[in-house]
Amino acid sequence: MCRKKLLLISPLPEEYIHRLAAHFPHLVIADCTQDRDRVLDEIRDASYVFGRPTREQFLAATRLEFIQVWTQGVESILFPELLASKVIVSNGKGVWSPAIAEHILAMILALYRAIPTYLSFQHEKRWIQKGVTLDRLAGKTVCFVGTGDIAMHTVRLLQGFDCAIIGVNRTGAVPPGFAKVVGREGLLDFLSLADIVCCALPFTPETYHFINDAAFSVMKNTALFINVGRGKTVDENALIRALQEDKIAGAGLDVFEQEPPAPDSPLWTMPNVIITPHIAGLDLEHSSRAFDLLVDNLQRIMENRPVRNQIDKSRGY
């Protein structure tokens, strides 16, 4: 009987690869993390994949059962052939959310406390105590557009600030920690109530440019906008217009429609915008969490148990 093969595409520290081999001695482990040219050959008889195969690579696979993607978004691998297949796909929910939640909090506090402004003063060796608007997070109303794992981790942090938490999601279901939630048809009503709008949507055809001119037009002119979900869920030109026309007070952005943004994008130089390069989910433990998820799911498959984080391929998340 042929031994099953695990193909590694996404990077894993060498220590974890050795631990995989020790934990699953009956598996053939093909490590292509440093040699992507071998993936097309190795995937042909692979049963499990850790990483995101291309369409060409997926079509070459003849025995594939399971793909573990370590990112939260999976849209890049949802080609028609995968959607039509029986291959199970699991995403990295829980791997990135703890760090993203703290990143959201850091951006909000930095904007409220004018940290970018004071950093510029520091670089210029200027001591300025007056003329800068400072605010507090305590007691603010925060609206999450997308109430999944990222939102849930962030809500727990916001509870210490006595914030009112509202949300918008596909069904209107109310997760723990939320005061009120509406379906997507209630988006504009809820945005008008928020001091902070945090977009944590997955990218699907339905969420493309979900936050647009209409959305920004109803936000408070004192509102902060945070995007840590997917860049294409926000109409970036509409966001730029909202900032330029003072329809909102500021933005913290970790994701963009085009990454990196074009060199001439006004977002780079706006004093009320914080940009980070799609790194909100990184911390010293993310590789460990991804490894633990992979091990757990491989064990579950071998024992015919449901995997964690299995996505609904028809919905894209």
* Active site residue ranges: 230, 259, 278
CA pair distance 267, 236, nearest whole angstrom: 9
Nearest one of 226, 162, 159, 161 to 191, comparing CA atoms: 226
CA pair distance 67, 70, nearest whole angstrom: 10
Strand ranges inside the chain, DSSP E = 5-8, 28-31, 48-50, 66-68, 88-90, 141-145, 164-169, 180-183, 196-199, 224-227, 250-253, 273-275
Pairing of strands 66-68, 141-145: unpaired
Count CA atoms within 13 Å of residue 50 on its CB side: 26
Q: Kindly give the residue spans of alpha helices, DSSP state H, lying in 26-114.
A: 39-42, 55-60, 80-84, 97-112
